[in-house]
Amino acid sequence: MSDVTTTDLYEVTMAMSYLQEDMRAPATFGLFVRDLPPNRGFLVAAGLEPALDFLAGYRVEQEDIEAFAAALHRPERDLEPLLGLAFEGEVRAVPEGRAVFAGEPLLEVTAPLPQAQLVETYLLNQVCHQTTVASKAARSVLAAGGRPVVDFSLRRTHGPWAGHQAARLGALVGFAGTSDVAAATALDIPASGTMAHSYIEAFSGEEEAFHAFARAHPGPVTFLVDTYDTEEGVRTAARVLTGLRRGPGCAVRLDSGDLGALARRARTVLDGAGLADVRIVASGGLDEYSVDRLVRAGAPIDVYAVGTRVGVAADAPYLDAAYKLVEYDGRPVMKLSAAKVTTPGRKQVFRRAGRPDVIALDGEDPPDSARPLLRTVMQGGRRTGPPDRWQDARERFREDIAALPAPARRIHDPDPVAPIRSRALEKLTATVRADIKARLRRERRGAPPGTAASRAPAPTRTPSI
């Protein structure tokens, strides 16, 4: 089976009905986050690149028809209208690495209705998971205050592919390296790693283990010093490094206990041995909260290795995201469900220096000095340019994170900047809402439906504030 079958069953049942009803007109769906998770002042847009790869290769083949038929307990001939269906639409999206906020569309898909519907699940899966992890990793970089952060998450992520994504997303927001060899090789990310406690335990003592490791690795080495007694392990590492005349580029790693207090004692031992150039690496259940505490306490830690909690975004592992129809066959539509109201129409997001973003209708003139965030990345089912590199996304992240207000960057109790809506979007929303309520009243009275739903006025090209 192909990735086409990586979808929720109701996407298939809806697409079958659309085709039967000949509902093939262009539809626009917007993917957005309703509310930021707790303790988040911003999100980092991610997951677009694999989403575009998926769309570019999307085509329903015979094996997919067989899988759909088996899942629905229907004969294959009932599913044959889907055979050969490919994605031929347009995608407008916020590039990876951009800081984004609740309510802003991360991407909009415009395609014949069955196509746009069938790809919903996969797009949500990719964008939500990767935006979640990228945002957690970004906060770790902020907490480290310029000190290198490396990714040690592979062994605890939810599958190898999730670990590969975590390594890429860490690099995207500024991590210095990853322990994941496959990701490091495939993505040109620096590989980083030391040794495990099992390595130390396999030898008769720490000194023998350190000498053996140094013989196998003639360059800079990092010794894990907390297998037995941490302070004694640091002294042993200092003796070995001094005897081998190795210092610059070498390090000791602390993996447990009171990392702040142990780092101070380790620094004293190393400096006393004339090894001021030997760095201290900390690991062991770290994320932005623990890194922030250590940095604020002045712990002499040079490198932070974050793993499980960041790779699975432990404190906020999901996004309240949605992929909702905003326009069909030129008609703006919206949802009125309590607490899940959407806004109609194709949109654009304008970013203004020092001021809240403006969510506007596509086609509106930008406010003064504003720049649009959504750009066209796919037309006719094909990319409009070469795949984006994580290095390019990292430059966008650095630009956006520097421009964020300090309260939004706080690790504890951040204060996000809420975007505002343009007057034209507010007007269209009110018009569509009123039209829907009028139609519902007619239905309740038993009046026959009109030949066509009334159309809302086209967006006006006016300033968005």
Q: Is residue 182 one of the residues assigned to a domain?
A: yes
- The C-alpha atoms of residue 459 and residue 92 are separated, in whole angstroms, by 18
Last residue of a domain, one of 261, 290, 311: 311
- The C-alpha atoms of residue 106 and residue 120 are separated, in whole angstroms, by 13
Q: Please give the structure tokens belonging to residue 432.
A: 């569509």
CB-CB neighbours of 25 under 10 Å: 13
Spatial strand order of the sheet with 355-361 comes to 371-372, 347-352, 355-361, 420-421
Query: What CATH number does the domain containing 179 carry?
Result: 3.20.20.70
Q: How many CA atoms lie within 13 A of 460 on its CB side?
A: 12
Total number of domains in the chain? 2
Residues 307 and 320 in one domain: no
Q: Residue 364: which domain range?
A: 3-132+316-444
Residues 437 and 338 in one domain: yes
Residues 220 and 118 in one domain: no
- The C-alpha atoms of residue 6 and residue 184 are separated, in whole angstroms, by 27
Residues 326 and 292 in one domain: no
pLDDT value for 446: 83
pLDDT value for 408: 97
Mean pLDDT by 10 residues, the chain (465 residues): 92 97 98 96 98 97 97 96 97 98 98 98 98 98 98 96 97 98 97 95 97 94 97 97 89 97 98 96 97 98 97 96 97 90 96 95 92 97 96 97 96 95 96 94 78 47 44
Residues 62 and 122 in one domain: yes
pLDDT value for 268: 98
Last residue of a domain, one of 242, 277, 311: 311
Q: Do the beta carbons of residue 179 and residue 191 sit within 8 Å?
A: yes
Q: Is residue 224 one of the residues assigned to a domain?
A: yes
Which residue, 33, 31, 3, is CA-closest to 92?
A: 31
Burial class (CB in 10 A: 0-12, 13-18, 19+), 65: buried
Residues with Cβ within 8 Å of residue 248, at least 6 apart in sequence: 220, 277
Q: Is residue 368 one of the residues assigned to a domain?
A: yes
What is the SS3 string spanning the chain?
CCHHHCCCHHHHHHHHHHHHCCCCCEEEEEEEEEECCCCCCCEECCCHHHHHHHHHCCECCHHHHHHHHHHHCCCHHHHHHHCCCECCCEEEECCCCCEECCCCEEEEEEEEHHHHHHCHHHHHHHHHHHHHHHHHHHHHHHHHCCCCEEECCHHHCCCHHHHHHHHHHHHHCCCCEECCHHHHHHHCCCECCCCCHHHHHCCCCHHHHHHHHHHHCCCCCEEECCCCCHHHHHHHHHHHHHHHCCCCCCEEEECCCCHHHHHHHHHHHHHHCCCCCCEEEECCCCCHHHHHHHHHCCCCCCEEEECHHHHCCCCCCCCEEEEEEEEECCEECCCCCCCCCCCCCCEEEEEECCEEEEEEECCCCCCCCCEECCEEEEECCEECCCCCCHHHHHHHHHHHHHHCCHHHHCCCCCCCCCCEECHHHHHHHHHHHHHHHHHHHHHHCCCCCCCCCCCCCCCCCCCCC
Query: What CATH number does the domain containing 381 carry?
Result: 3.20.140.10
pLDDT value for 450: 55
Residues 147 and 18 in one domain: no
Q: How many CA atoms lie within 13 A of 11 on its CB side?
A: 18
Residues 303 and 394 in one domain: no
Which residue, 232, 279, 230, is CA-closest to 257?
A: 230
Q: Is residue 460 one of the residues assigned to a domain?
A: no
Residues 161 and 299 in one domain: yes
Which residue, 311, 62, 22, 60, is CA-closest to 164?
A: 311
pLDDT value for 2: 85
pLDDT value for 339: 79
Residues 188 and 304 in one domain: yes
Residues 276 and 382 in one domain: no
Q: Is residue 464 one of the residues assigned to a domain?
A: no
CA distance readout (Å), 351 to 137, 313, 393: 23, 27, 17
Residues 295 and 175 in one domain: yes
Residues with Cβ within 8 Å of residue 212, at least 6 apart in sequence: 203
Which residue, 333, 324, 326, is CA-closest to 456?
A: 333
pLDDT value for 460: 44
Residues 322 and 289 in one domain: no
Q: Is residue 331 one of the residues assigned to a domain?
A: yes
Q: Is residue 125 one of the residues assigned to a domain?
A: yes
pLDDT value for 277: 95
Q: Is residue 296 one of the residues assigned to a domain?
A: yes
